[in-house]
């Protein structure tokens, strides 16, 4: 995996008459965690969706760079991992089946053993791996979402409220995941949790 930085410049977003982001700039640097904070409705999730290329900004732009080279937009998806409350996992599939599916989607087929290991590092014990995710608790589903974001070891990791629904052990597992990625990836965490804000090497505060 080669290091990628993500630069966003004067990003603005409107939903109809509602202006959500106004000229927001910053950079996700490999080896750093950018914390995106701000009150409910300030646009944290919107910004992460724009950085992921899921939403188009109304103004400004986003560039992925590998060294001096700009990474074309069609290659963003394979280079990023994202977990957010807006994302769903397939309820009728087991955790392992979900990860197999998302892995294939990224062109990154991992052996079941590796997927099981990843789920275990996120605190989901092996005995739960083959049960339909629809029968999981919300914290267990959150762990599957995080595994989905991390499984292809992306150069860019975008985490929207990663500890939502997680207990203390789950929070520690996310902290370990972020620490592992920080070594080589560019990481953004949208959060208002003081424990997560403390992970940030840089911080962007969005206002209402
Ligand atoms: N698809 C959409 N259509 C219309 N308005 C939207 C849409 N998505 C977000 N918004 C609005 O944009 C604003 C920012 O929403 P966003 O979800 O980005 O905030 P947030 O900072 O992530 O909040 P929270 O802390 O509650 O997660 C809100 O006022 C929301 O209603
Ligand atoms: Mg949000």
Mean pLDDT per 10-residue interval, the chain, length 208 residues:
92 96 97 97 98 97 96 95 95 97 89 96 96 96 97 97 95 96 96 95 96
Please state the domain extents for the chain.
Answer: 5-205
Q: Using CA positions, which residue lies closest to atom 2 of ligand 1?
A: 15
Q: Is 165 left (phi over 0), alpha (psi -120 to 50) or beta?
A: left
Name the CATH superfamily for 5-205. P-loop containing nucleotide triphosphate hydrolases (3.40.50.300)
Going across the sheet that includes 69-71, the strands are: 18-28, 5-15, 59-66, 69-71
Q: Is 113 left (phi over 0), alpha (psi -120 to 50) or beta?
A: alpha
- 16 CA from centroid of ligand 1 (Å): 12
Token pair for 183:
């070594």
- Can you give the pTM of this predicted structure? 0.96
């Amino acid at each position: 995996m080669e290091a990628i930085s993500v630069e966003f410049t004067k990003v603005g977003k409107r939903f109809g008459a509602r202006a959500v982001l106004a000229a927001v700039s910053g950079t996700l640097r490999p080896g750093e965690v950018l914390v995106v904070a701000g009150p409910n409705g300030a646009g944290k999730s919107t910004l992460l969706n724009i950085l992921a290329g899921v939403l188009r900004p109304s103004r400004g732009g986003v560039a992925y760079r590998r060294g001096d080279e700009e990474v074309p937009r069609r290659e963003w998806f394979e280079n990023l991992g994202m977990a957010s409350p807006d994302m769903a996992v397939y309820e009728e599939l087991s955790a392992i089946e979900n990860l197999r599916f998302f892995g294939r989607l990224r062109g990154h087929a991992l052996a079941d053993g590796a997927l099981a290991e990843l789920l275990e590092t996120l605190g989901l014990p092996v005995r739960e791996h083959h049960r339909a995710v629809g029968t999981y608790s919300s914290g267990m589903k959150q762990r599957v979402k995080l595994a989905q974001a991390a499984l292809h070891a992306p150069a860019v990791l975008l985490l929207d409220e990663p500890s939502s629904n997680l207990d203390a052990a789950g929070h520690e597992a996310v902290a370990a995941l972020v620490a592992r990625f920080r070594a080589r990836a560019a990481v953004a965490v949208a959060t208002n949790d003081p424990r997560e804000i403390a992970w940030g090497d840089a911080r962007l505060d969005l206002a209402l």
